[in-house]
Structure 1
Amino acid sequence: MGVREQDCVFCEIVAGTGEARVVHEDEHTLAFFPLAPATRGHTLVVPKAHAADLWAMDEAAAQRLFHTVMVVGRALREVLRPAGMNVVNSAGAVATQTVFHTHVHLVPRSPGDTMGSIWPPKGAGFRYEDEAATDALAARLSAAIGPPEPTPTHRANTTSARSASSNGA
C-alpha cells in the first residue's frame, strides 16, 4: 500500500478499515464514493500512499493519480452522461481542503443540480490592476518554470509522410 498516516480517514479506507463504496482500485490508487456526495456519481480518487496534498507528491505518483482520474472520469461520463464535470483538487485549508490526504473530486454535473457554482459571481473575482506588476509576475513565473522539457518526436513518421507526398503518392 505504501506510507500510511495514523488518524487519516483516507488511509483507513485504503487499508480497508474505513467505510467507503470503492469503484476502482489499482496498485497505487483508489476511487470511491464520499460519504456525503455533492451529486450523483461524485467520486474521490486518492493515492494509496499518504501525501498531505498534491505538492507533497513526487511527479510519478501524481501522474499515476491523474491517470486514474482520467480512467474514472471517462467511466463516469460513459455511465452517467453528465452535462459536465468538475475536477477539483484543493491543497491547503485556505483552499477548502478538509482531509489532508491528497484527493481529487470528480463531480458529475447536470443543469439545476444542488452543487452550485464553485467560482465567485462574475465580476467579483480578483482583478489585475497594474499592467507592469502583472507582466513582472508572468515573467517571474516563466523563469521559475524554466524552459520546456524536450518531448519525443516522431521524425520517422513525418519523414515517411513527406517522402510519400513529394513522390506523388
Structure 2
Amino acid sequence: MEPAPRYNGDDFYCDVAIPDPSRLNVVHEDDLVLAFHHTRPFWTNHIVAVPKKHIASLITLTPSDEPSARRLLEVVQSIAAHTVQTTGAAAVLTNLGTYQDSKHLHIHIHSGPQL
C-alpha cells in the first residue's frame, strides 16, 4: 500500500477515513467503529480505532455517545488482546488538547519499536 498523502485538515477521520475506508488497511469495521493500520505509523505495529460518529475527544463524551464509546472500547480490547497474543505486548493511547492532531476521538493500539 502506498503511503498516504499528507493531510492538512483537522479531522482526518471524518474527512478521509470514514467516508472511504477502501483507501486504508482496515482491521475492523462495523456500523459504529472503524479500525485500521495507521497511515503514518509511529510504532512497528500501529492500529488506530475511531467511532464513526464524530466525537471530538475523550473529554467531550456525553451520555448520548455511550453506544459508540462502548463499541469503541470493545474493538480496542479485541485488537489489544490480539496484539498481545501476536507480539507479546501492547499499549493503548489517546491524545487530548494540543496533543490531538485530528480533532476526533481516536485510540492508538501499538507495539514494537518506535519508528
TM-score band (shorter)?
0.7 to 0.9
Counterpart AA for 1:99: S
Counterpart AA for 2:97: G
Check the 8 A contact 1:10/1:18 in 2, yes or no.
no
Q: TM-score, structure 1 length as denominator?
A: 0.54
**What corresponds to 1:65 in structure 2?**
72
SS at match of 2:103: coil
**What corresponds to 1:25 in structure 2?**
29
**Unaligned 5+ runs, structure 2:** 1-8
Distance 1:26 1:72 in 2: 14
Q: Which structure has greater strand proportion? A: 2
SS at match of 1:27: coil
SS at match of 1:64: helix
Greater RCO, 1 or 2 (C-alpha within 8 Å, sep 6+): 2
Change (3 A) 1:18 1:99: farther
**What corresponds to 2:87 in structure 1?**
81
Distance 2:34 2:48 in 1: 8
Identical positions, percent? 29
Does 2:101 align with 1:98? yes
SS at match of 2:90: strand
Q: Give 4+ residue runs of structure 1 displaced > 3 Å after superposition.
A: none
Q: TM-score, structure 2 length as denominator?
A: 0.77
Larger Rg: 1
Change (3 A) 1:17 1:59: closer
Residues paired across the two proteins, number = 103
